[in-house]
């Protein structure tokens, strides 16, 4: 329906891409905010629409309606590029918080009605996941069959970002790491072992000293893995240096590099105990005290509605 009393010229309308906010009752919907977050994460409308389980036209319309509601352009796009505006990035950040609060609201009701049931989203870093999650999941299923665990393996920064946005319920991480604003339960401390290529004549068993480590041969995981930072800190290497210049994308690659003789690496004790080394021609060696260590912890939001599940998993993992 056309409002014939509108005297605004066509030129004025064309020059204003997004009309100003005019009604206090016009508020964004959670669905619109989820569309914006998906676009910001993907920078691709097709992929964002797939993530939201809607058509691209539906997502695009919802995003335009959000911009009209707020009276500001949040996303710039053409046929080849998608860019979130500076204001859009601020709205995305707040949208994550609002969506997280909405999920928590649902969680409060569900947790009160039936604790230790339903979907629980648990994240773990790559240097923990393969060694702790299988046993953890088996025990959780045996004790609480109605509790369904959805697992995600990722680097610490990504896990904590998803945790704060309520896209995860809990995360298994290694400390030290910045966990400000989160509920963190330290589970246990484990040592880091030195793994070297197996020499032709295995040496007599002895405890190494971290001060005597040949840091020039040290191999590291790539940036973003907390084990890299723990290794650098243990060896007293400043400015995130990488003496060998060689980086691995995973523990499997790191082990293969050690077996090839490219250098040595520090691995967590849980990897040693799990049989991860297998038949690899490598030699694991333990350090004399004070040995380098890391602390395994379970993290959740301070506002989590699933404290019963948090305590349960912390008890299983300790």
Residues 287 and 206 reside in one and the same domain = yes
Reduce the DSSP state of residue 185 to 3 states and report it: strand
pLDDT of residue 135: 95
Residues 174 and 195 reside in one and the same domain = no
Distance CA 193, CA 291 (A): 8
Residues 157 and 27 reside in one and the same domain = no
Is omega for the bond preceding 165 within 30 degrees of 0, making it cis? no
CATH number at residue 120: 3.40.190.10
Residues 25 and 40 reside in one and the same domain = yes
Q: Is the pLDDT of residue 162 over 60?
A: yes
Q: Is residue 8 part of a domain?
A: no
Q: Is residue 243 part of a domain?
A: yes
Residues 304 and 177 reside in one and the same domain = yes
How many domains does the chain divide into?
Answer: 3
Q: Is the pLDDT of residue 265 over 90?
A: yes
User: Among 40-49, 55-64, 72-81, 260-269, which is the least confidently predicted range?
Assistant: 72-81
Residues 305 and 158 reside in one and the same domain = yes
Residues 26 and 81 reside in one and the same domain = yes
Residues 181 and 257 reside in one and the same domain = no
pLDDT of residue 5: 44
Q: Is residue 2 part of a domain?
A: no
Q: Which domain holds residue 135?
A: 114-187+295-317
Distance CA 317, CA 172 (A): 9
Confidence of residue 236 (pLDDT cuts 50, 70, 90): confident
Q: What is the pLDDT of residues 120-133, one digit of tens each?
A: 999 999 999 999 99
Q: Is residue 76 part of a domain?
A: yes
Instruction: For the full predicted model, state whether its pTM sits above 0.75.
Output: no
Residues 216 and 71 reside in one and the same domain = no
Q: Is residue 84 part of a domain?
A: yes
Decide which of 100, 126, 158 is a domain's last residue: 100
Confidence of residue 166 (pLDDT cuts 50, 70, 90): confident
Residues 196 and 286 reside in one and the same domain = yes
Q: Is residue 266 part of a domain?
A: yes
Q: Is residue 32 part of a domain?
A: yes
Q: Is residue 118 part of a domain?
A: yes
Decide which of 45, 67, 100 is a domain's last residue: 100
pLDDT of residue 113: 72
User: Among 42-51, 108-117, 275-284, 292-301, which is the least confidently predicted range?
Assistant: 108-117
Choose the most confident range, by mean pLDDT, from 206-210, 215-219, 300-304: 300-304
Residues 199 and 277 reside in one and the same domain = yes
pLDDT of residue 75: 94
Beta-bridge partners for 173: 297
Q: What is the pLDDT of residues 86-117, one digit of tens each?
A: 999 999 999 998 898 888 788 777 767 777 88
Residues 144 and 81 reside in one and the same domain = no
Q: Is the pLDDT of residue 189 over 50?
A: yes
Choose the most confident range, by mean pLDDT, from 19-23, 154-158, 208-212, 213-217: 154-158
pLDDT of residue 57: 94
Q: Give every CB contact of residue 217 below 8 A, 6+ residues apart in sequence.
A: 243, 244, 263, 264
Whether residue 298 contacts residue 170, with contact meaning beta carbons closer than 8 Å, is answered with: yes
């Amino acid at each position: 329906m056309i409002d014939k009393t509108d005297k605004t010229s066509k030129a004025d309308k064309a020059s204003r891409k997004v009309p100003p906010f005019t009604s206090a009752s016009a508020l964004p919907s959670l669905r619109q905010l989820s569309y914006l977050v998906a676009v910001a994460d993907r920078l691709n409308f097709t992929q964002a629409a797939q993530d939201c389980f809607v058509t691209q036209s539906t997502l695009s319309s919802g995003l335009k309606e959000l911009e009209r509601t707020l009276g500001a352009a949040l996303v710039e796009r053409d046929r080849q590029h998608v860019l979130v505006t500076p204001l859009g990035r601020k709205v995305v950040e707040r949208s994550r918080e609002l969506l997280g609060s909405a999920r928590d609201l649902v969680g409060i009701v569900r947790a009160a009605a039936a604790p230790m049931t339903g979907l629980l989203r648990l994240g773990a870093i790559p240097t923990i996941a393969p060694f702790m999650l299988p046993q953890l999941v088996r025990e959780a299923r045996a004790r609480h069959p109605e509790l369904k665990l959805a697992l995600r393996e990722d680097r610490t920064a990504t896990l904590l970002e998803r945790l704060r946005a309520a896209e995860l319920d809990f995360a298994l991480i290694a400390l030290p790491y910045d966990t400000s604003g989160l509920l963190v339960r330290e589970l246990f401390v484990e040592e880091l072992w030195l793994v070297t290529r197996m020499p032709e004549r295995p040496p007599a068993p002895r405890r190494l000293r971290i001060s005597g480590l040949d840091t020039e041969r040290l191999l590291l995981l790539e940036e973003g893995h907390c084990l890299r930072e723990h290794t650098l800190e243990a060896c007293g290497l400043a400015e995130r240096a990488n003496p060998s210049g060689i980086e691995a994308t995973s523990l499997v690659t790191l082990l293969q590099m050690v077996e090839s003789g490219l250098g040595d690496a520090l691995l967590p004790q849980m990897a040693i105990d799990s049989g991860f080394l297998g038949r690899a021609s490598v030699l694991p060696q333990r350090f004399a005290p004070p040995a380098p260590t890391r602390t395994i912890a379970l993290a959740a939001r301070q506002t989590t509605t699933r404290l019963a599940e948090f305590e349960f998993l912390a008890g299983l993992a300790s």
